[in-house]
Amino acid sequence: QFFSSISYVEMQEFAPVGTEVITLAFTDVDGTLASTTSSFSIIQGNEKGYYEIFPNGTILLVAPYDDAEGHALTVKVENDALPLLSDTTTVSVDVIAANKFHPMFLVPNITLEIDENQIPNTILVEL
């Protein structure tokens, strides 16, 4: 059984491939964990193939984001004992847009004095 029914994660839009998203944890409610193997799988929400889950429950970013949309991943953990037991949880990934904030001048107004006969194409100021 997962410790939480939903987990919230924030990722930057330009996070590098290989970035760890989250490592999920679960508990063995019937006590057979020592003698069984558990496997994780993403069963919904990974249609674009951004994520991969590993045997220890770690989800990694395996492809660069092509948008700043959020993702709701449904993850399943399952043991190989009898009876076969499983549980699911949701990982909500909020992708933070790189261009979320508009550019802003640090100095809101600049006043310049220019000679009347200034040579055309002269750089007046660099920002």
pLDDT value at 44 more than 70: yes
Per 3-state DSSP, the chain is made up of helix, strand and coil in percentages (nearest 5) of: 0, 35, 60
- 48-70 burial, b for 16+ CB within 10 Å, e for fewer? eebbebeeebebbbeeebeebee
CA–CA separation, 27 and 102 (whole Å): 45
Query: What confidence tens digit (pLDDT) does each residue in 86-112 have?
Result: 889 999 999 998 776 666 677 777 787
pLDDT value at 114 more than 70: yes
CA–CA separation, 3 and 20 (whole Å): 19
pTM: 0.70
Handedness of CA 7, 10, 15, 19 (dihedral sign): negative
> Which DSSP string corresponds to 87-106?
EEEEEEEEEEPTT-S----S
